[in-house]
Structure formats: structure tokens, C-alpha cells
Amino acid sequence: MNARIDHLVIAADSLEQGAAWCAATFGVRPAGGGKHAFMGTHNQVMAISSESFPDCYLEVIAIDPDAPAPGRARWFGLDHPALRDALRDSPRLVHAVARTQKIETLCRELDSLALNPGELLAAQRETPYGLLKWRITVRQDGRLECSGALPSLIHWQGEHPCAHLPPTDLSLRQLALRGIPRQAVDVLQLPAVDTDPIDGNVPLDAVQQAPLTATLESPRGRVVLDAWHIGG
């Protein structure tokens, strides 16, 4: 095992819209979260851990209207015009992030496969329990590799957010990733994740299904979310 799913990313037009969507979709609202000053975004989070996906959470993220423009493309494709238009109608699952203790090694190996996981950026945000610090892969153009199917990589430096998140009745049960090159699947070795890899001679844009599908159990029953396809 080289990496493990850390969190799902739900993009929203605003945090208010995202929280209301969570309440209507899952019967659970996110709480906590904070600001990412260097990206001009803010978030709310909630635990979705399960036996298959321990220490896992869901992040609702949106552009912070009170923050100055970051001077670079924001993460998770949040500046993509098509996604911005779609988010005005409803929040969307866009991505999954995988944590690892081998982040430099995995970045090099993915780069050797002609994939662009992004550069390693240092990030932090304040919480009532202290400063959260991490490193994460973000492409210069802000886009997501393999249409979002290839997880961004994160390395937590200190406590994990789940250490202080209250338990919820929402849990991640299945996650499917589609369209990642077979060699990249072997590099990441993600446990409990269903993969539908492609071979090297198949273009990434030939994958027609959603790049990722998450299945969660909630107070409103089973919820299946297909990710928004925003381009690689």
C-alpha cells in the first residue's frame, strides 16, 4: 500500500449552497473547516470514515468571496469556466485526495509515466484545535489529471483533520476510479478502491464514464455520486 483515500472533494458555488446540498442529499451538514488564504478558497468538512476507508472525510470547498485573487489557478479545477457554470446549479463531486508518507517518491513515479500530478505545495489552515499543516500536489493550471480520476496526493504534517471531527451517520462505502493508466494504478496501490484502468494505447479522453463514483451510506439511505467531468 502506497496511498490511501483521505477525502472526497465537493465543489460548490458557495459554502452556504454546499451545506444546504449536503443536508438535502445526506441528511447531514458539514461543520468546521476554514480558509485557504493562498488559494482564495474556504471549506467545511465532515467525517465519512468506514472500515474500508478509515480517517476519511468529505470536504465542501468554494471560492472565498472575501479573499483576494490568489494570483494563480486555484486547486481542484475551481476556475474552470464549465465547472463554474455547473456549480451555479448544484454542488458537484469533483475529486478524491489520497494521503501518503511517500509523496515525493509517488510524484516522481507518476511523472515518469508522463502524468502530471502537480507540484508539491505547502498549505495550512487555522482550526479551533490548532494549525493544520500539509503538503499537496496541485497543477500549475489548476486542472485535475485523468479528468479527476487520478487522486491528488497529500502528506499531513502533524494531526489529521479526523482527529477532531465529530462522528456522523455518513460513511464512504465504495469508490470507483476510471481511466487511470494501469501503471499508475500499480504505483498508488490504493486499498478498497475499485479501478477501471486503461492501457497505454488508449487516449484518456476515450473514457466515457464518470471519472469517479462514490457510494455513501447516509441517514437518507444509499447515495451514489458521479463526479463532474472537467477535463484533464
Mean pLDDT over 108-131 rounds to 92
Residue with cell 493508466: 181
Exposed e or buried b per residue across 222-231, where buried means at least 16 C-beta atoms within 10 angstroms of its C-beta = eeebebbbbe
Per-residue pLDDT tens digits for 9-24? 999 999 999 999 999 9
C-alpha cell at 7: 477525502
Is 188 or 33 the better-scoring residue by pLDDT? Answer: 188
Per-residue pLDDT tens digits for 45-88? 999 999 999 999 999 999 999 999 999 999 999 999 999 999 99
**pLDDT exceeds 90 at position 127:** no
Contacts of 74 (CB under 8 A, 6+ apart): 39, 40, 41, 63, 142
Is 129 or 138 the better-scoring residue by pLDDT? Answer: 138
Which amino acid appears at position 139 of this protein? R
Domains, the chain: 4-226 (3.10.180.10)
pTM of the model: 0.94
**pLDDT exceeds 60 at position 205:** no
Q: Whole-angstrom Cα distance, residue 56 to residue 76? A: 18
| pLDDT at site 26 | 98
